[in-house]
């Protein structure tokens, strides 16, 4: 039953993304991002980083990786449901490869960042992405959303 729920959820994400693409929007432009909370006196509004190229490359890598990751996870779950282990294994490997590429890009951009906050954040994101796998039950969305929100603060659109 849980597998059906996960397939349904991933299919919903894919269909929502297709609707955005039809309107010319990039449904995966930010990844798993959630909006950052509004600034308060305790948390002043962030300032834009001096690393626009680093930000662009990190976000672009995330967009491509998330799109591939979600698609391949859905493919893996469909194949598993059909009992097609060969296709499921190939899709799992492709999903893991997408994550590894994203992790490597985040590490590379962390090394190129001049803003120490961005450097640290990209390294943290790389660690988080490196810990993701194809076990959808093990993904810590709250922590990932928190890190992605920080990236949005340091790298505004």
Domain range list for the chain: 51-154
Please choose, from the candidates 55, 156, 51, 157, the residue with its C-alpha nearest in 3D space to the C-alpha of residue 114: 51
For the chain, give the longest Cα–Cα distance.
55
Pairwise CA distance, residues 20 & 16, whole Å: 6
pLDDT tens profile 92-103: 999 999 999 999
**pLDDT of 144 above 60:** yes
**pLDDT of amino acid 64:** 93
51 compared with 68, residue with greater pLDDT: 68
pLDDT tens profile 16-59: 444 444 445 444 444 444 334 444 444 444 455 668 999 999 99
**CA-CA distances (angstroms) from residue 147 to 36, 59, 71, 127, 143?**
10, 13, 23, 11, 6
**Token pair of 144, please?**
């990932």
Please choose, from the candidates 112, 106, 91, 89, the residue with its C-alpha nearest in 3D space to the C-alpha of residue 144: 106
Buried/exposed code over 33-48 (b: 16+ C-beta within 10 A; e: otherwise) = beebeeeeeeeeeeee
**pLDDT of amino acid 45:** 43
**pLDDT of 9 above 60:** no
Pairwise CA distance, residues 131 & 118, whole Å: 20
Most confident of 12-16, 19-23, 108-112, 133-137: 108-112
**pLDDT of amino acid 94:** 96
56 compared with 15, residue with greater pLDDT: 56
pLDDT tens profile 73-85: 999 999 999 999 9
């Amino acid at each position: 039953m849980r597998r059906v729920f996960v397939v349904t959820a991933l299919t919903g994400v894919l269909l929502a993304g297709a609707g955005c693409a039809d309107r010319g929007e990039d449904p995966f432009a930010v990844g798993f991002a959630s909006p950052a909370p509004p600034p308060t006196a305790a948390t002043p509004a962030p300032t834009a980083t001096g690393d626009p190229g680093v930000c662009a490359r990190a976000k672009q890598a995330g967009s491509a990786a998330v799109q591939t990751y979600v698609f391949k996870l859905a493919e893996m779950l469909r194949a598993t449901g059909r009992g097609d282990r060969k296709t499921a294994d190939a899709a799992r490997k492709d999903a893991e490869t997408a994550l590894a590429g994203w992790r490597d890009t985040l590490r590379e951009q962390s090394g190129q960042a001049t803003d120490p906050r961005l450097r640290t954040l990209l390294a943290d994101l790389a660690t988080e992405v490196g810990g993701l796998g194809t076990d959808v039950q093990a993904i810590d969305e709250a922590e990932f959303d928190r890190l992605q929100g920080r990236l949005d603060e340091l790298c505004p659109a």
